[in-house]
Amino acid sequence: MDIMSLVNKDFIKARLKEGKRIDGRGFDDVRDLEITTGLIGTAEGSALVRLGNTRILVGVKLAVDKPFPDTPDEGILITNAELRPAASPTFEQGPPNPEAIEFARVVDRGIREGQTIDLKKLCIAEGEKVWVVFLDIHVLDYDGNLFDAGNYGAVSALLTAKVPEHEGRESFDMPVLHTPVSCTFAKIDSSLLLDPGLEEEGVADARLTIVFDEEKNLRAMQKGLDGSFKRDEIKELMDRASRKSEEIRKIIDQKVKL
Amino acid sequence: MNVIPGEPVGKSAELKAGSGTYEDGDSIYSALVGFKEVRSSYVNVVPIKSVYIPREGDQVIGIVTDIDQSLWVVDVRAPAPSVLHSNDTPWKVDFGDTGSFLTIGDAVLARIKSYDDIGRIQLTMSDRNSRKISSGYVIEIMTTKVAKVIGKEGAMVNAIKKFTGCRIFIGQNGRVWIDGESDGVSKAIMAINKVEKEDVNVEDVEKLLG
Amino acid sequence: MMDEVIKDFDREKKEMKLIDENGKRIDGRSAEELRPVKMKVGVLNRADGSAYIEWGKNKVVAAVYGPREAQPRHIQNPLKGIVQARYNMVSFSVTDRKRPGPDRRSIEISKIISEALEAAVITESFPRTTIDVSMEVLQADAGTRCAGLTAASLALADAGVPMKDLVVACAAGKVDGQVVLDLLKEEDNYGQADLPVAIMPKSEEVVLLQMDGHLTQEEFDRALSMAIEGCKKLYEMQKEALKMSVGGE
């Protein structure tokens, strides 16, 4: 854990009681969000996301393989996340730990259940050959709220990805159906904060990630940490996420289309 | 003049190798990215960025990271954790009772008692200024910017204190403790971050806070 | 099936001319020319020091943490600090996705880069500590260990880690029977030899040297001189990148 959060815990909490966040943001304010796509030529799609001082590079690679027996006419999505030691003094060398695996799975769920990719269009020969989409999330600089940055990066990389040509079939744009957008809140005492920064994460009792599609349907959720939420808090966060996800989707659309 | 590691900064016949330099053959070279400065007969390189290197007597802000029966392990942002022994505090601490005085995550104002050749650091709190920090907010700045935030004869930090109504203590290890009304603390944090990163003088800061 | 493929590949190799009749390479360079290189110091927020390098199509970011307490304790040296470098290729940095995590190649490269950097870092100042250096290859096109090491040395300088000198690396090799500087991917794949070299530029002492392929002793001498000349050019760029980071203060 970040030791500065421990030291400053009482002040952060006292400030929240006055309705103020430590960096001056409102409870529903997202930090500055920058997205740059297409920086990595070896990837079929890529996006560099900066959310405050958190920086994540997402790459999309495609490969041809056999489909799973229960989905013979669908492509395959595989999501992986790496919390490399370059990104934080607390990240260690080694295979993905439970935090990295949870992170990858929550991003994966948003993309998969949000039907971001039209997997049926990634079938080459039913039962024999399909495209495998590898979605690799690489954290470069960790300053809190990986889940949302990972989601924005994954969506942006997929929206700009190309399926390469294969045995005479021409290259085509990644078939995207929906753009699910993630909103993560930290609960500190009774305050519920969108897009928690590193120090806020360090003090948080509980965390809730909510992923909405553009029709305001829920596509994925994840509660984390050892605290708890009341039912009306969950309801409140649902409303707030539904509103904010629309705003954030507009930002993503704008950045990706440029 | 700014220099980088391996650049010559003087001749051994004329100068002595000071901090941030090393001697090789008849020349002295920089070991750091920084500014060359000659003081009396020494040539030094003042680094742009540096890990905190403890010096005996430095006033620092430490954070307790572990507790033992008769000592605390304290992070002072140095290359090694430091040790605060219960004898080196103003309190009478019974063996095994360390946790009721300081616990993990507590911050303290303390002094560097020693930093030996094999990298061990000892702290002491047996002086009037040392104390446990139990309110306010602690931020970290670059150790090489401590002098800038303090300002000439304290002019910078005094201006920030005056306009925010806060008490501010700047440790040599680049940790700054700010205590006071919460709005004032928030303003002081903003001002200190600005002084650390940007090219601002006392008047700019007064305008910013005034 | 398999032997068909091998024959095909052999034919492709023979047909692929890497140097044309005018002595130009496939990207238009002459034998002794480096690919375009850009360097920037201080690119990450969290790390104590960092640097980014673009070298041809290679893109590598390096981050430094420390000196800090070496863990577990048995790796500590009571007389000096240690340098632990980690070279990692991001899964999407290559044409065929690389499985994440260390493999034998990256472990070997990490080891020789650690040793090369340790030669320059004044480790005696920080007993029992570790200086952790991460190199993340974001996009690869041959020469990533040289790019990584060159960036790593900038990141160390940026972190304020005391060093006797910077470390700078460059490869030379043999392509179509000719000794050339700084091989790109096709030249590395189909050439006859690769010789990555790193030096401390002040003394020109060699701190990393590897060779694979086929070289006569005369060709080696020429390749080594060429690599060292390349290192010196890169050193000028390192200097400039560091002085830029200091700014006009």
How many residue contacts between A and C have a Cβ separation below 8 Å? 86
Alpha carbons A41 and C92: distance in angstroms, whole number: 9
CATH number for the domain spanning B167: value is 3.30.1370.10
Distance from CA of A171 to the nearest CA of B (A): 48
Q: Residue B52 falls within a domain, yes or no?
A: no
- How many angstroms separate the CA of residue A105 from the nearest CA in chain B? 32
- Pair (B128, B66) in one structural domain: yes
- Partner residue opposite B140 with nearest CB, options A4, A9, A15: A4
Say which of C126, C161, C200 has its CB closest to residue B119: C126
In a domain, B91, yes or no: yes
Asked if C97 and A61 come within 8 Å (Cβ–Cβ), the reply is yes
Name the more confident of C5 and B199.
Answer: B199
Query: B165 with B123, same domain?
Result: no
Find the angle CA(B73)-CA(B61)-CA(B150) to the nearest 5 degrees.
Answer: 160
Half-sphere exposure of A152 (CA within 13 A, CB side): 35
Confidence bin at C1 (pLDDT 50/70/90):
low
Per-residue pLDDT reduced to its tens digit, B43-54: 999 999 999 999
Those residues of chain A whose CB sits closer than 8 Å to some CB in chain C are 39-43, 46, 53, 55, 57, 59-61, 63, 80, 82, 84-89, 93, 95-96, 134, 136, 138, 140-143
The reply to whether B104 falls in a domain is yes
Mark yes or no for CB contact A3/B182 under 8 Å: no
Q: Is residue A127 within 8 Å of residue A67, measured between CB atoms?
A: yes
Contacts of A141 in chain C (CB under 8 A): 44-47
Give chain B's domain count.
Answer: 3
Mean pLDDT value across residues C41-47: 96
Question: Which chain A residue is nearest to residue B66, measuring alpha carbons?
Answer: A3
Name the band, by pLDDT with cuts 50, 70 and 90, for residue C48: very high
State whether B146 and B196 are in the same domain.
yes
CATH number at residue B69: 2.40.50.140
> Which ranges of chain B have pLDDT less than 70?
1
**Topology of domain A9-257, per CATH?**
Ribosomal Protein S5; domain 2 (3.30.230)
The predicted model gives C45-60 an average pLDDT of: 97
DSSP string, chain C: -HHHHHHHHHHHHHH--SB-TTS-BTTS--TTPPPPEEEEE---SSSSEEEEEEETTEEEEEEEEEEEE-SSGGG-BTTB-EEEEEEEE-GGGSSSPPPSS--HHHHHHHHHHHHHHHHHB-GGGSTTEEEEEEEEEEE-SS-HHHHHHHHHHHHHHHTT--BSS--EEEEEEEETTEEEES--HHHHHHSSEEEEEEEETTTTEEEEE--EE---HHHHHHHHHHHHHHHHHHHHHHHHHHHHHHTT-
Closest CB to A86: pick one of C68, C93, C134. Answer: C134
Q: Could you give the ipTM of this predicted complex? A: 0.94
Q: Which member of A46, A57, A80 has the closest CB to residue C100?
A: A80
Question: In which domain, by residue range, is B22 found?
Answer: 2-47
**Domain C32-243 maps to which CATH number in 3.40.390.10, 3.20.20.30, 3.40.50.12160, 3.30.230.70?**
3.30.230.70
- Which chain C positions have a beta carbon within 8 Å of B34's beta carbon? 246
Contact partners for chain A, using 3 or more CB pairs closer than 8 A, are B, C
Does C102 contact chain B (CB < 8 Å)?
no
User: Are residues C92 and A140, on separate chains, in Cβ contact within 8 Å?
Assistant: no
Domain boundary among B81, B99, B133: B133
Chain C closest CA to B156's CA: distance in Å?
18
By Cβ distance, the residue of A3, A11, A20 closest to B137 is: A11
Q: Is residue B54 part of a domain?
A: no
pLDDT of residue C14 exceeding 70: no
- Taking residues C71-89, report their average pLDDT: 94
The pLDDT value given to residue C13: 60
The CATH number for B15's domain is 2.40.50.100
Instruction: Sort out which chain B residues have CB atoms less than 8 A from A10's CB and list them.
Output: 135
Cis status of the peptide bond prior to B79, with omega within 30 of 0: no
Banded model confidence at residue C11, pLDDT cuts 50, 70, 90: low
> Over the range A139-149, which residues count as b (16 or more CB within 10 Å of their CB) and which as e?
bbbbbbbbbbb
Residue ranges per domain, chain C? Answer: 32-243
**Whether residue B191 is found in the same domain as residue B174:** yes
Please state whether the peptide bond connecting residue C67 to the residue before it is cis, i.e. omega within 30 degrees of 0: yes
Q: A143 to chain C: which residues are within 8 Å by CB? A: 45-46
Q: Is B38 on the interface with C (CB under 8 A)?
A: no
- Residue-level pLDDT at C249: 42
Q: Tell me, yes or no, if C68 comes closer than 8 A to chain A by beta carbon.
A: yes
- The residue ranges of chain A whose pLDDT is under 70 are 1, 258
Q: What is the pLDDT of residues C182-202, one digit of tens each?
A: 999 999 999 999 999 999 999
pLDDT at B197: 92
Question: Hey, are the CB atoms on A9 and B105 less than 8 Å from each other?
Answer: yes
Instruction: Give B138's contacts in chain A (Cβ within 8 Å).
Output: 4, 7-8
User: Which residues in chain A touch residue B63, judged by CB atoms under 8 angstroms apart?
Assistant: 3-4, 6-7
- Model pLDDT, residue C16: 72
Which sequence spans correspond to the domains of chain A?
A: 9-257
Return the pLDDT at C248: 47
Residue range A128-141, pLDDT digits in tens: 999 999 999 999 99
pLDDT tens-digit readout, A192-218: 999 999 999 999 999 999 999 999 999
The mean per-residue pLDDT over the stretch C154-166 comes to: 97
Higher-confidence residue: A154 or C2?
A154
Chain C, 123 to 152: residues with Cβ < 8 Å from chain B are 126-129
**Predicted local confidence at residue C15, as pLDDT:** 62
- The percent of residues in chain C predicted with pLDDT above 70, rounded, is 95
* Domain end position, chosen among B100, B117, B133: B133
pLDDT value of residue B174: 97
Strand partners, B197: none
Which residue from C minimizes the CA distance to A60? C92
